[in-house]
Amino acid sequence: MPDYSSDFDGDTVVVTGATSGIGRAIAIRFAEAGATVLIADIESEPKDADVPTAEYIRDQGGTAEFVQTDVSDADDIRAVVEKAREYGGVDVMVNNAGLFIGGSLFDISEEEFEQIHEVNAKGVFFGCQAAAEDMIDRGVEGSIVNMASISSFVAQRDQIQYDSTKAAVKMITRGAALELADHDIRVNAIGPGQIATEFIDGWSEEAPEKASTDGLIKPVPAGRAGTPDDIAGAALYLASDDADYVTGEVLMVDGGWLTI
Ligand code: NAD
């Protein structure tokens, strides 16, 4: 595992959806690499751990603060970026928060469609906007990492409302990368495959079993479900100087799922 500690010393990193799952792992890894981390989440209590993320990081000697944030509200996102100014401003923005609502084309209500798009797509758009405004104001060559999915590329049954949000994340990433290249701000995304979290209730229990069988649409070539840490490593890489010439990319971290 690369050592990124010198890359993020003194940096401020905002991670949305960092109370649980993938976002929590990303926040902890950035803190271990020297960053001050703002945990921007609608929930303060983790679904999958006993100690809230910011408290855990502080217990380990790091610097972190929880900021109650609903990413579907652009004012909330601007408020967390404003909060980051107290620590010097946003150097890295990770737009990770997301939710899942399953159901067929005929099951989904207008409210459910709006809710999932407001969190998963609108939240990422305004996360990019708020972070980029702050970085440009301060003349910082920052980095933005968005959470896409295998669903950005393939349709899965009963997920049309979710898949369409993740396709939007892919194009928000590419569009923002194009526009922000003039300011030396890089924008990339990660495309996780089947990651064992509580994203869908009970999925963390089922995922390792299902990943290696054809219980899903198809088995994962790597023969296992991914872990939140698999995704955290990719986030640190994309935000690091090692990725200085990488922008507009969706880095798949899916154990080879999209290759077959
Ligand atoms: P999770 O449910 O464990 O974590 C999601 C986090 O987002 C939670 O802390 C939750 O409180 C927060 N959140 C939800 N709505 C929010 C809102 N309106 N404002 C702020 N925070 C909010 O799920 P996860 O698996 O860690 O998912 C994280 C991201 O990864 C999501 O964008 C998801 O779409 C994506 N993803 C997950 C998988 C997977 O298999 N788990 C695969 C592909 C992509």
**pLDDT tens per residue, range 147-203:** 999 999 999 999 999 999 999 999 999 999 999 999 999 999 999 999 999 999 888
**In this predicted structure, which of 49-53, 84-88, 161-165, 199-203 has the lowest mean pLDDT?**
199-203
Residue whose C-alpha is closest to residue 116's, from 103, 99, 96, 104: 99
Atom of ligand 1 nearest to the CA of 148: 44
- 238: closest CA among 191, 186, 203? 186
Q: What is the pTM (predicted TM-score) of this model?
A: 0.98
Mean pLDDT, rounded, for 117-124 = 98
Protein residues with CB under 6 Å of any ligand 1 atom:
16-17, 19-23, 41-43, 47, 69-72, 96-99, 119, 147, 149, 192, 194-195, 197-199
- Give the phi and the psi of residue 232 in degrees, each rounded to 5: -60, -40
Give the DSSP letter of residue 121: I
Q: Are 42 and 68 in contact (CB under 8 A)?
A: yes
Alpha-helical (H) ranges within the chain are 5-8, 21-32, 53-59, 74-85, 110-117, 123-138, 160-180, 203-211, 228-239
Q: Is 87 a catalytic residue?
A: no
pLDDT band at 210; cut points 50, 70, 90 = confident
Asked whether 200 and 210 are in contact (CB, 8 A), the reply is: no
Joined tokens for residue 166: 């993740």
- Cα 14–53–17 angle (5° rounding)? 50
Q: What is the Cα–Cα distance from 107 to 236, expressed in whole angstroms? A: 38
**119 alpha carbon – ligand 1 mean position (Å):** 10
Q: Closest Cα to residue 98, out of 76, 117, 126, 79?
A: 117
* Per-residue pLDDT at 5: 63
Q: pLDDT of 188-206, one tens digit each? A: 999 999 999 999 988 899 8
- Residues with Cβ < 8 Å from 212, sequence gap 6 or more? 219, 220, 223, 224
User: How many angstroms is it from 96 CA to the middle of ligand 1?
Assistant: 6
